[in-house]
Structure 1
Amino acid sequence: MTTEPQRLQYLEAMGLTAWTARYRMPNARPTEACEWELPVPDDGARQAPGERLHALLDAPAEPSVPAPAAPAAEPRERPPAGERKARALLGGLVPEAASEEAAPGAAPEPARSVESDEPREALRFALQVACLDGRWLVVQPGQAAPSPLAQRLLANLLRAAGVTPEHPPAFEAFHWPQIEGLDVQAPLDEARQGLGAFLAGRARRGWAPERLLVFGDEATLARVLAIDDGRSTALDLPAWQGPALETLAGSAEAKRDLWPRLLDWRREWHGEAKGEAKGDA
């Protein structure tokens, strides 16, 4: 179940502001109070659902007609009381014998905690993300946007690969956690949900990612994206991960290693078959 603080985190990641009415506007009409009519069942019973439930819980069991020669046998188990009785009637549970029948002197069984997970530390990461024509996600880890030199290099790489978006990449920042000081039970799952909420919020701008390009390596972000064998299992997208743009800008060897991959980018961007790409080459 998503708690209210987590819901607010996801809304903030999606760029939505949660509004709560606290005051009545001046000269506004007060909200009219009304009473809701309870639905009437087909059998004509006019009891409220809560009243019927209490009546069901408080009603005695139907007496059974004993045989003339056989005395009534005592029940083997005492009926449950209170909350256990309601659970037994509503959920079809068969509770064990009541605790009152425990042997005298026996040590009571220690209470078991339903929630065994203790609050944990949230994962912390930041990234810069752009979406090429709403199709390809371009991600670079870090608090700051790529430098002008790195962005020029990215534009040249895309142009050389035949990836020609209508608009140049516009990077947006995302960081996790969105709100500090909240209890965390599943750090990895909550971080992935927060990133998913961020991308879902950008769907209003036309983002419909088909592929993921990651420039740079950061341990926490690598756990969140879970890129393995050319696919991000967290985002369910085909993915490529390579050196950071700043590293590519200063290394001729890194550029040479990336060059064969550019042909694949061209084919994937234009939706060409692999044989067609080789024929064109």
Structure 2
Amino acid sequence: MLTEPRRRAYLSAMQVVHWLPRAELPFAAPSRPELLMPVAPVEDLDFDVRPAPAATEAPAAPQARSGERPKIEIPRPGSAPKPATKPAEAEEQAAPPRPAPVPPPRFSLQLLRAGSCLLLVELATGQPFQSRDPSYLLLKDMLRAAGLPDAPQIIGEPVRWPLLVRGNMDQGPEAARDFVQGFVQARLEEAPCSCLWLIGLPALRFAANADGEAYYQTLKLEGLGEAWALPGLELLMDEPQRKADVWKAMRQLMARWKSVE
């Protein structure tokens, strides 16, 4: 089920401003009846309208009475007037320093399905998989070793972040995390899986809020179920010694998706 913050982040990322659900949404914010009340016409509102003074009229200067003498202030010793603080200096002292804006993260992720498993894979080049790509051939070898179909089904277009090149929409790390988690959760609601493979550091950071220390481990994620953290395909090709750790962890997890078939 999509929570209200994730649903709003998901709709904002798709630039959906006005929408109407076909059925009652779980965890949705309650409607506010006062927004549906008719707006009162302007004539019925009681305003105290007074004509504004003309721009050419000068304010009348106060005239001193003939019998009064001007009052002169005599400074007393020890009571020196304090220098007035300039408005600009006062604002600088009162306003706290603004934090530096966080640049939006940049990554590309592809979601695939192989048997009863979902795979969220980092696209190191940002381009979709090709049949003869070395990284895609390595992924097929890993699926065969896991006893899964080696021709995974590609689900949708790659998730590329940031979504927009320009605009005022928040595209920081928190917004990216909400979007990726909401995207995967929506696919899981359509068809559940026995295990979610998170391949690559961006998949770990924005789907599981984890880092490279979680490689080869299983994670229990709220709304996403059990996930298996793996290094990226490019990293496995650059450092082949990591494949032994992948195979060791895979042998302990194979029963989870093989029992579903």
Question: How high is the TM-score relative to the length of structure 1?
Answer: 0.47
